[in-house]
Amino acid sequence: KLPMMKMLLRLIALLSAVLVASSAPPTCYSRVLALSKEITESFRDLQTSRDMDPCVETLPRLYLDIHNYCVLAKLRDFVAYPRCDRMLQVSALKEKARSLYTIMISYCRRDLVFLTDDCNALENPV
């Protein structure tokens, strides 16, 4: 009975260690990366939606690469784009883009490293 109890306690300790290791708080970089992917996917979904509003076709392209310095200008342009504000999906997307921009220039300013400043790469992703 005692060896079984020791084995059960070890199993509980191991599972607890795994849970603690996987629940580490997100870093600034991981938050920016996740949010940029979420925004890019939401924009793609908006463009391929069956009931797409014609103004969505006029929106600036929104492919985000947080390792490209030009992403900051891309986010500013998208948020400042005057059309489509009446669409809830576009307004929500602009709000997420504004949040990402704020996080990048304020909270994560020293944590991010830009590997390139190729603005064309954001217009024509590979």
pLDDT recorded at residue 21: 53
Task: Parse the chain into domains and list their residue ranges.
Answer: 26-123
Nearest of 87, 81, 76, 86 to residue 58 by alpha carbon: 81
Q: Distance between CA atoms of 58 and 23, rounded to whole angstroms?
A: 41
pTM score over 0.85? no
pLDDT in tens, 1-21: 667 777 777 878 777 766 655
pLDDT in tens, 68-111: 999 999 999 999 998 887 888 899 999 999 999 999 998 887 77
Q: Distance between CA atoms of 122 and 90, rounded to whole angstroms?
A: 19
